[in-house]
Amino acid sequence: MQSLGIVFSELGDGYLRATMPVDARTHQPYGLLHGGASVALAETLGSSAGMLMAGGNAVVGLEINANHLRAVRSGIVTGTARPIHLGRSTQVWEIRIEDEAAKPVCISRITLSVLPQPPASGRA
């Protein structure tokens, strides 16, 4: 999150919001917002929102997709995650990323698995 400049900006009733700059850190070679950076913002938002709703359980991503709708060269994009399904074992979130004019840049959906405990870190 830190290396991409992602900052949580708002937690509301049924949504979580964050911003990300469109600059050299998030550009692809043509100077546009990199689709992978949009997906990183979407996954950060969806997973974080899912964790907040998991009642002390852990969440991990099962699948994420993204439709890139508009090119952005500079400024700030804002992502908003809203739940579609909040089940005992899975969650589905929609993340809408918009430019500074509130025009859609990317629509993403993430499916999360809800686990009774965090996965092992692999550390001894």
Q: How many CB atoms lie within 10 A of CB 82?
A: 16
117 φ, ψ to 5°? Answer: -155, 155
CA end-to-end distance (rounded Å), the chain: 26
- 43 tagged catalytic: yes
Which pLDDT tens digit goes with each residue over 47-101?
A: 999 999 999 999 999 999 999 999 999 999 999 999 999 999 999 999 999 999 9
Side by side, the strands of the sheet bearing 104-115 are 7-12, 15-22, 75-86, 90-98, 104-115, 58-68
Residue tagged active-site, from 10, 43, 94, 98: 43
pLDDT at 117: 78
- pTM score of the predicted model: 0.93
Which pLDDT tens digit goes with each residue over 8-55?
A: 999 999 999 999 999 999 999 999 999 999 999 999 999 999 999 999
